[in-house]
């Protein structure tokens, strides 16, 4: 057996018509005798066989069989081609196909010898010199074995140097088996790693007539061909590590900087989420940084000395807010408020003394089948009479309309129309729904949708009153208590108007406190005109009813309330600086004028 290490051997066998059948059998025996002396296997010597005549046929490649039994079975099944002698074509096939890594040849950098054994009995019918040179330059060691009629010049043109070790001429096919024993010795030779001092630092690999040194995994062979150095796998920059590359015996591993952890791809890094540990104690927001975290407050807040808690910024003391009466700081903002009995004007800063305030009014009308079409027209007229009371504009009063029966439909939201004429026209075009009476569902729709900023309601911070007016003519088919309560809790002033078979208990449940001022009832649709006046008196308290008397909030009970509020303001103003003193003088003068007006009327 050869002890020189692994080889990649390909037999290139001439099966032209000049090789008679019994002669071809001796060639089979020659190949099998050579294979029997080799240590074959995937990590040892690999063997392939091709035959040629006018064409080339692959019998088995270097990757096909790894046992001698399988190889011998394949060799015994070869059927000779019995045509011409295209030896050059066979050498080219061996170089371009048989000795490729795709067909099982080991890569050149592994330094496993590639050996072609060409066995022929005649003169080539094509050129061999040039293609044989290319094969040798590609790293293939060629042995040329001629039998009987073979031409020596052709054999010498094919073989590798030195020719005396690679060219053989056998006189007859009968002697090829005896030659095979001699060729085995030539092919295997002696184990040079054993016979002499090789000087390899790690390991010595024998080859026919020579040897070479190899290094252990993780090392590379130095230029002296004997000693080895560790491979720095990080040095070529192709490691792909996001942070740090650490060499480790020919390989490498990636490492992350402090405060990061290595991801599953073993290359990229992710910052450790210290905030997710749940022990940061930040009142508002926790922000991750490498090796830790810090607390951050939302807009309008300042981080306190404990670096965890937050306190709202008092913007009223830090900006020129322009509020006529009082500035109230909120989270990251502020708004102006007015004394009780006064309303904030459209500029969001000034307060009205005695004028009609602006409101967001949503009317919810019953469109059930008990109302009947002719009465529904009266309901629309009722709605338009209420609209006539209001100063409708984008910055003044806004009006929305909802109709309900077994379902709820927004006829138009608060931000749809900007004048009374537009609203009245839209009301008259509303179509009667009929069907059931789901008052509770209508209240829910009003709270969740009609008074949303999306549908035109102004923010609560603007202090614009939200008024809901529910018109119904019968008992609700669902519960109204929960959504009536929610409506009032959300700051909506609720008015209930009932006609005919409307249930007083339900009307009172809908109405805001004091209930007597927030619900009305009429026996039938034709007599409900007076309800408009009741609603006018409650939604616009400065408007009175009478032939000549106009009741003003600056008189009588309103004056008493105004005086009380003014005294409170005066007391507050005395504690302020000289800027507030100017406002005090103005309010005092205004109070004196009002008192004179009352005295003159009496």
- Most confident range (mean pLDDT) of 60-74, 292-306, 352-366, 549-563 is 60-74
Mean pLDDT across the stretch 13-22? 89
Mean pLDDT across the stretch 517-533? 73
- The answer to whether the CB of 26 falls within 8 A of the CB of 75 is no
**CA atoms 109, 113, 119, 120: torsion sign:** positive
Asked whether residue 508 carries a pLDDT value surpassing 60, the answer given is yes
- Among 96-100, 160-164, 183-187, 196-200, which is the least confidently predicted range? 183-187
Rounded Cα–Cα distance for residues 537 and 558 (Å):
14
- Among 1-5, 30-34, 570-574, which is the least confidently predicted range? 570-574
Rounded Cα–Cα distance for residues 602 and 599 (Å):
5
Residue 382: the pLDDT is 87
**Phi, psi (rounded to 5 degrees) for 488:** -70, -35
Q: Residue 338's pLDDT band (boundaries 50, 70, 90)?
A: confident
Mean pLDDT across the stretch 231-252? 81
Distances (CA, A) of 419 to 30, 396, 416: 112, 10, 10
- The answer to whether the CB of 532 falls within 8 A of the CB of 520 is no
Residue 432: the pLDDT is 93
User: pTM surpassing 0.85?
Assistant: no
Mean pLDDT across the stretch 232-255? 83
Residue 550: the pLDDT is 33
**Nearest residue to 167 via CA among 180, 152, 188, 189:** 152
Mean pLDDT across the stretch 65-74? 94
- The answer to whether the CB of 256 falls within 8 A of the CB of 269 is yes
Residue 438: the pLDDT is 93
Residue 273: the pLDDT is 86
Pairing of strands 260-262, 269-271: antiparallel
SS3 per residue for 189-239: CCCHHHHCCCCCCCEEEEECCEEEEECCCCEEECCCCCCEEECCCCCCCCC
> Where exactly does CATH 3.40.50.410 map onto the chain?
7-188, 360-539
Asked whether residue 346 carries a pLDDT value surpassing 80, the answer given is no
Q: Write out pLDDT tens, residues 552-579.
A: 444 444 445 545 554 454 455 444 444 4
Q: Residue 439's pLDDT band (boundaries 50, 70, 90)?
A: very high
Rounded Cα–Cα distance for residues 41 and 405 (Å):
89
Tokens of residue 524, six digits: 């039938």
Asked whether residue 179 carries a pLDDT value surpassing 50, the answer given is yes
Q: Write out pLDDT tens, residues 282-313.
A: 988 999 888 788 999 887 788 888 988 887 87
Mean pLDDT across the stretch 265-294? 86
Q: Up-side HSE of residue 455: CA atoms within 13 Å toward CB?
A: 20
Tokens of residue 249, six digits: 């015996």
Which of the two residues, 197 and 509, has the higher pLDDT score? 509
Mean pLDDT across the stretch 480-484? 93
Residue 586: the pLDDT is 65
Residue 343: the pLDDT is 67
Q: Residue 355's pLDDT band (boundaries 50, 70, 90)?
A: very low
Fold entry, domain 360-539: Rossmann fold (3.40.50)
Asked whether residue 548 carries a pLDDT value surpassing 50, the answer given is no
3-state secondary structure of 21: helix
- Among 168-177, 251-260, 398-407, which is the least confidently predicted range? 168-177
Asked whether residue 514 carries a pLDDT value surpassing 90, the answer given is no
| DSSP-H helix ranges across 492-555 | 504-510, 529-539
Asked whether residue 65 carries a pLDDT value surpassing 90, the answer given is yes
Average pLDDT, the chain: 82
- Express as a percent the part of the chain with pLDDT over 70: 81
Which of the two residues, 363 and 36, has the higher pLDDT score? 363
The domain over range 7-188 is classified in CATH as 3.30.565.10:
no
Residue 23: the pLDDT is 82
- Among 365-379, 395-409, 464-478, 531-545, which is the least confidently predicted range? 531-545
Asked whether residue 240 carries a pLDDT value surpassing 50, the answer given is yes
Mean pLDDT across the stretch 364-374? 90
- Express as a percent the part of the chain with pLDDT over 90: 38
Which residues have C-beta within 8 Å of that of residue 470, sequence separation ≥ 6? 364, 439, 442, 443, 494, 495, 496, 497, 510
Asked whether residue 551 carries a pLDDT value surpassing 50, the answer given is no
Rounded Cα–Cα distance for residues 488 and 3 (Å):
101
Q: Residue 430's pLDDT band (boundaries 50, 70, 90)?
A: very high
Asked whether residue 541 carries a pLDDT value surpassing 50, the answer given is no
- One DSSP character per residue, 106-160 reads PPGGGT--EEEEEEESS--SS--HHHHHHHHHTTEEEEEEEETT--HHHHHHHSP
Rounded Cα–Cα distance for residues 154 and 410 (Å):
103
**Nearest residue to 312 via CA among 296, 301, 325, 297:** 301
Mean pLDDT across the stretch 116-142? 93
Asked whether residue 234 carries a pLDDT value surpassing 80, the answer given is yes
């Amino acid at each position: 057996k050869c002890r020189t290490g692994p080889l990649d051997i390909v037999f290139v066998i001439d099966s032209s018509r000049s090789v008679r059948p019994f002669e071809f059998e001796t060639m089979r025996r020659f190949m099998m005798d050579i294979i029997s002396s080799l240590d074959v296997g995937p990590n040892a010597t690999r063997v392939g066989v091709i035959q040629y005549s006018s064409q080339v046929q692959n019998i088995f490649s270097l990757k096909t069989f790894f046992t001698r039994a399988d190889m011998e079975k394949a060799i015994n099944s070869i059927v000779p081609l019995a045509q011409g002698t295209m030896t050059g074509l066979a050498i080219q096939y061996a170089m371009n196909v048989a000795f490729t890594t795709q067909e099982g040849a080991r890569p050149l950098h592994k330094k496993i010898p590639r050996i072609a054994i060409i066995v022929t009995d005649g003169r080539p019918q094509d050129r061999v010199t040039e293609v044989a040179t290319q094969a040798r330059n590609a790293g293939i060691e060629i042995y040329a074995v001629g039998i009987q009629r073979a031409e020596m010049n052709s054999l010498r043109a094919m073989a590798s140097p030195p020719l005396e070790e690679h060219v053989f001429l056998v006189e007859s096919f009968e002697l090829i088996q005896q030659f095979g024993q001699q060729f085995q010795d030539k092919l295997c030779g002696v184990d040079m790693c054993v016979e002499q001092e090789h000087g390899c630092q790690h390991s010595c690999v024998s080859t026919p007539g020579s040897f070479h040194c190899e290094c252990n995994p993780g090392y590379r062979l130095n230029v002296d061909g004997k000693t080895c150095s560790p491979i720095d796998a990080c040095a070529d920059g192709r490691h792909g590590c996001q942070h740090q590359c650490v060499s480790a015996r020919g390989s490498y591993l990636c490492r992350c900087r402090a405060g990061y952890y290595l991801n599953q791809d073993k290359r990229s890094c992710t910052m450790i989420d210290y905030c997710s540990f749940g022990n940061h104690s930040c009142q508002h927001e926790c922000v991750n940084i490498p090796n830790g975290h810090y607390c951050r407050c939302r807009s309008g807040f300042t981080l306190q000395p404990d670096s965890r808690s937050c306190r709202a910024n008092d913007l009223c003391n830090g900006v020129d807010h322009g509020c006529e009466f009082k500035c109230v700081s909120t989270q990251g903002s502020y708004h102006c408020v007015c004394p009780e009995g006064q309303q904030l004007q459209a500029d969001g800063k000034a307060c009205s003394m005695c004028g009609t305030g602006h409101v967001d009014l949503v009317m919810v009308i019953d469109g059930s089948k008990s109302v009947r079409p002719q009465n529904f027209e009266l309901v629309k007229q009722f709605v338009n009479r209420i609209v006539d009371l209001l100063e409708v504009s984008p910055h003044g009063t806004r009006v929305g309309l909802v109709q309900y029966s077994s379902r709820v439909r927004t006829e138009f939201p608060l931000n749809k129309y900007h004048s009374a004429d537009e609203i009245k026209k839209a009301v008259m075009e509303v179509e009667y729904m009929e069907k059931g009476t789901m008052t509770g569902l209508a209240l829910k729709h009003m709270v969740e949708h009609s008074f949303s900023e999306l549908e035109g309601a102004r923010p609560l911070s603007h202090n614009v009153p939200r008024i809901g007016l529910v018109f119904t003519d019968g008992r609700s088919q669902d519960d109204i208590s929960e959504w009536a309560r929610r409506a009032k809790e959300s700051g909506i002033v609720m008015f209930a108007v009932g006609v005919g078979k409307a249930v007083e208990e339900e009307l009172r449940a809908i109405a805001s406190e004091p209930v007597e001022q927030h619900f009305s009832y009429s026996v039938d649709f034709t007599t409900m005109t007076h309800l408009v006046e009741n609603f006018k008196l409650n939604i616009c308290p400065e408007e009175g009813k009478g032939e000549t008397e106009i009741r003003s909030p600056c008189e009588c009970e309103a004056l008493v309330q105004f005086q009380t509020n003014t005294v409170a303001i005066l007391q507050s103003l005395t504690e302020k600086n000289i800027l507030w003193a100017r406002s005090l003088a103005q309010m005092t003068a205004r109070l004196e004028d009002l008192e004179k007006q009352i005295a003159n009327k009496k």
